[in-house]
Amino acid sequence: MSLRIDVLTLFPEAIANYAETSVLGRARERGIWELRTHDFREFTDDLHHSVDDSPYGGGAGMVLRADPILRTLESDPSIPRPVIALTPSGEPLSHAIAKELSATPGFTLLCGRYEGFDQRALDLGVDREISLGDFVLAGGELAALCVIESVVRLLPGALGNDSSSQEESFAEGLLEYPHYTKPAEYRGLVAPEILRSGDHAKIARWRLAQAIRLTQTRRPDLLVKRGGLSESEEKILQEFPALEPEA
């Protein structure tokens, strides 16, 4: 059974067009996942199809009304749960959340616009809120696509090599190690000799050491979250010195 992802949005074409490209498009063609979009502007009841209004209490901007959103959710009993709103105040998107969602039969993403949602849309129709990070976008479509791609690439068969998703950044609570390809020497910099040695066990240890060092430097919070380093990981760090460009 394929994973079903529904998206409530004022710009369904933005979601649909991107979903036809690259990994997402190939995975859809293989039947690994399916996409259904819902334009909640179609569920308005006024002549101008208004989805927003000025906020009670005053303030800049407009607020998305609850009624078109809730009507959309109620119009189709097959819309999958959980319904997830993309909001700045939601829990930060992480690899763990993507993995959790990839194990479900399906879920629905709600894209915002303007100053956000009438709280009643969230209270009555939404099960969860997710944020892409500590910044604000014009709408939730880009955030929805990020969620979709982070989830779909974890589905069996979505990538050319299923082990790729297991070795990526965050999969083991670490940033990913640096990569190199041909040519061996480029503009005075040489790909590490160990990667060209053919010793796969040693290469695996080297990669882990580089992943740990990169995480220590750029995202030490990830190490705290995973409870620090194991004794074997500490030994691997001692085995391989810090990466220095080879000239």
Domains of the chain: 3-152 (3.40.1280.10), 168-239 (1.10.1270.20)
Evaluate if residue 92 carries a pLDDT over 70. Answer: yes
Q: What is the pTM of this model?
A: 0.87
The pLDDT score that the predictor gives to residue 115 is 87
User: 233: Cβ–Cβ under 8 A, 6 or more apart, which residues?
Assistant: 208, 212
70-88 confidence digits (pLDDT tens): 999 999 999 999 999 999 9
Please name which of 111, 232, 243 lies closest in space to residue 190, comparing C-alpha atoms: 243
The pLDDT score that the predictor gives to residue 114 is 87
| 94 SS3 class | coil
201-227 confidence digits (pLDDT tens): 999 999 999 999 999 999 999 999 999
Q: How many CB atoms lie within 10 A of CB 17?
A: 11
Evaluate if residue 108 carries a pLDDT over 70. Answer: yes
Helix 231-239, helix 200-218: angle, nearest 10 = 100
Residue 117's alpha-carbon distances to 92, 121, 122, 170, 221, in angstroms, are: 18, 7, 7, 31, 31
114-150 confidence digits (pLDDT tens): 889 999 999 999 999 999 999 989 999 999 999 999 9
The pLDDT score that the predictor gives to residue 128 is 98
The pLDDT score that the predictor gives to residue 1 is 81
Evaluate if residue 166 carries a pLDDT over 90. Answer: no
- Compute φ and ψ for 118, nearest 5 degrees: -55, 130
What is the distance between the terminal CA atoms of the chain, rounded to a whole angstrom? Answer: 51
The pLDDT score that the predictor gives to residue 23 is 96
Percent of the chain with pLDDT over 70: 93
The pLDDT score that the predictor gives to residue 124 is 98
> Which ranges of 10-87 does DSSP label H, i.e. alpha helix?
12-18, 22-29, 66-75
| Residue in the block written with tokens 């995480």 | 215
The pLDDT score that the predictor gives to residue 164 is 56
What does the block give as tokens for 139?
Answer: 């709408």
Q: Rounded to whole angstroms, how far apart are CA atoms 119 and 100?
A: 26
Task: Answer yes or no: are the C-beta atoms of 140 and 109 closer than 8 Å.
Answer: yes
Residue 35's alpha-carbon distances to 29, 80, 148, in angstroms, are: 11, 11, 10
Residue 16's alpha-carbon distances to 4, 39, 137, 183, in angstroms, are: 14, 12, 19, 38
The pLDDT score that the predictor gives to residue 239 is 95
The pLDDT score that the predictor gives to residue 172 is 80
Percent of the chain with pLDDT over 90: 87
